[in-house]
Amino acid sequence: MTLIVPVFIYLGLKLFGQNHYSLPRYIPAIDSTTGEIKMAKRLHQRWNESELDTVFQTIPSFNLTDEQGKAFSSENLKGKIYVANFFFTRCGTICPKITSQVSRATDTFIRDQDIRFISISVDPKFDAPEKLAAYAKRFDADSTRWSFLTGDKKIIYPLILKGFHVPLADASEYDAAIKNPDETFIHSERLVLIDKAGVIRGFYDGTDKKEVDRLIVEIKVLKSIYSTEN
């Protein structure tokens, strides 16, 4: 059912050429002084009147390193729709499943330069660029549209937790006896859809084909929304 609804929405957009649907925005911005949700005036295009609207958090800027050893900045994603996921190359459980599903999504948008994908390692100490490059090669990743990123753990962990709002933990920080990588890094299977303004528009289970089908459809819906606005 979760897949059917977006499909009919998208078909409606294609058939009737008019957008009456908007994907939700996630994670409202909070005023640190009052603890309340931030609101801002927004001009309503149809009636040319201003109204109060919720302000949503945006993904903070970041600087990491890609699988080619090149600097990768969030500026690379400016003005793009992109999907983020979280993994590590030593993962033998859910990561290959997630990466396979992301690969399928990238194939859907193979000719679309407005769509990007980033996979951020939660094991950056081990996942040097050459490790990421070998992993990317396993999945025939197109480096012009899909980047595998590593960097300083002190940057990556807060970015994932507070920026992308998905859970993450390194169990070795509180239990040195843990040696198995699959037990060490506790990370989310979620894929996160980010719009051109840097606002989160969806969360999807990256191990579930139907959920990734929903992601693909909702990327198309988001593109239709932007097309209508322009």
Beta pairing, strands 81-87 & 71-73: unpaired
Q: What are phi and psi of 122, to 5 degrees?
A: -95, 5
SS3 labels along the chain? CCCHHHHHHHHHHHHHCCCCCCCCCCCECECCCCCCECEEEEEECCCCEEEEEECECCCCCCEEEECCCCEEEHHHHCCCEEEEEEECCCCCCHHHHHHHHHHHHHHHCCCCCCEEEEEEECCCCCCCHHHHHHHHHHCCCCCCCEEEEECCHHHHHHHHHHHCCCCEEEHHHCCCCCCCHHHHEEECCEEEEECCCCCEEEEEECCCHHHHHHHHHHHHHHHHHHHHHC
pLDDT classification of 51: cutoffs 50, 70, 90: confident
Residue type, 20: H
Residue of 180 and 168 predicted with greater confidence: 168
Q: What percent of the chain has pLDDT over 70?
A: 87
pLDDT classification of 189: cutoffs 50, 70, 90: very high
Return d(Cα 70, Cα 114) in angstroms, integer.
21
Return d(Cα 107, Cα 187) in angstroms, integer.
25
For residue 10, the model assigns a pLDDT of 47
The most confident of the ranges 22-26, 83-87, 109-113, 222-226 is 83-87
Q: Tell me the pTM.
A: 0.88
User: Checking phi first, is residue 13 left (phi over 0); if not, alpha (psi -120 to 50) or beta?
Assistant: alpha
What domains does the chain contain, in order, with CATH numbers?
A: 63-229 (3.40.30.10)
Residue range 61-119, pLDDT digits in tens: 999 999 999 999 999 999 999 999 999 999 999 999 999 999 999 999 999 999 999 99
| pLDDT at residue 17 tops 60 | no
Residue 181 CB neighbour total at 10 angstroms: 16
For residue 190, the model assigns a pLDDT of 98
Return d(Cα 107, Cα 165) in angstroms, integer.
26
Residue 110 CB neighbour total at 10 angstroms: 9
Decide: 182 and 92 in contact? Cβ < 8 Å: yes
In terms of C-beta density within 10 A (0-12 exposed, 13-18 middle, 19 or more buried), how is residue 220 classed?
Answer: buried
Residue range 149-167, pLDDT digits in tens: 999 999 999 999 999 999 9
